[in-house]
Copies of this chain bind each other. A is one copy, B any other.
Amino acid sequence: MPAEDPTTATLRRFNRTYTQRIGALDESFLGTGRPLGISRVLYEIGPQGAAVRDLRDRLGLDAGYLSRVLARLEEDGLVAVRPDPADRRRRLAVPTEAGRAAWQDLEARSERLARRLVAPLTARQRDRLTQALATADLLVRAATVHLREVPPTDPAARAAADRYIAELDRRFPRGFALDGPDTEGTFVVATSDGEPVALGGLRDAPEAGPDVGELKRMWVHPEWRGAGLGSRMLRHLEAMAATRGHRRLLLDTNGTLTEAIAMYDRAGYRRIDRYNDNPYAELFFSKDLDV
């Protein structure tokens, strides 16, 4: 084993503290007269309801087991399970009035326990704790984001591209619009709990040379900025480009996107002259990939 890593040591120490002290937050689900597993499923269904499929994914449960838990919740009159009209193999679990009340109760218990935990802290320390946990939350979530390569038609890629376009439209003085959805190149979507949180596209740019690629649609969900998702996406795209035989990457961007520009600078991209007639682009970058 290599020399002790301070990050894993801290993480593991925190894990111990956590399971001993905050872990009790789960136990707030006890004492409701229902077993923990049942409460967890009820809580996960939430006041709006959820698809059985999603519950299974989110909670990591066996299909048979979950089915039984749902039957029990239905029997207790807390949840109604009915087929999804859009795909009648699927089923949706929707809380009844009583179910929503039980959910509220779980919510209140959890909140109470959290309060009791932080009660001994002064306001200043509470702020520090909030800060620290929010940072840790963002980084841990960012670290467990899932990157996958998809065609331009992928629904997650489309959804992310739409958000990208909407954001540029908001930020650019004269708005932003595209002719139609992307059809060219390959996209990389980063998802967390199924939600797209970052996007990046790579296309061949034969007009600029035989082994040149171009990056497009680089976008990170606003709530996820500052966690290094952008540079991770960039590294992933560069590795992808290298395996596709590209030796140089181009990209263009707008002067208002200062965070992105700083990231490109940090990642070793150099500013070059205009190489296309994109009316929204003001800055142009290039990077040589050392294959």
Contact surface of A with B, Cβ cutoff 8 Å: 1, 5-8, 10-15, 17-22, 25-26, 58, 108, 110-111, 114-115, 117-122, 124-137, 139-145, 227-228, 231-232
Contacts and interface: CB of A to CB of B under 8 A. Distances in A.
A136 B131 CA distance: 9
A5 B111 CA distance: 9
Contact of A137 (B13, B26, B124): B13
A11 B117 contact: yes
Nearest to A17: B137
Nearest to A141: B17
A141 B21 contact: yes
A1 B232 CA distance: 41
Given A121-B139, A142-B125, A227-B125, A114 B12 contact: yes
Contact of A140 (B5, B21, B231): B21
Contacts of A25: 11-12, 15
B136 A133 contact: yes
B227 A7 contact: no
A144 B130 contact: no
A166 B58 CA distance: 52
A14 B137 contact: yes
Contacts of A21: 140-141, 143-144
A229 to B, nearest CB: 10
A114 B11 contact: yes
9 contacts: A12-B114, A14-B136, A14-B137, A15-B25, A17-B140, A18-B18, A129-B139, A132-B133, A132-B139
A140 B117 contact: yes
Given A26-B19, A111-B8, A133-B136, A124 B14 contact: no
A125 B232 CA distance: 11
Most chain B beta-carbon neighbours within 10 Å: one of A111, A124, A231: A111
A25 B141 CA distance: 15
A225 to B, nearest CB: 13
Given A8-B115, A14-B137, 15 more contacts: A1-B111, A5-B115, A7-B118, A10-B133, A11-B25, A11-B114, A12-B110, A15-B114, A18-B18, A18-B22, A19-B26, A21-B143, A120-B142, A131-B132, A131-B135
B144 A114 contact: no
For the complex of A and B, the 5 pairs showing the least CB-CB separation, nearest first, are A8-B114, A132-B135, A132-B136, A132-B132, A14-B133
Contacts of A11: 22, 25, 114, 117-118, 129-130, 133
A59 to B, nearest CB: 9
A253 to B, nearest CB: 21
A103 to B, nearest CB: 14
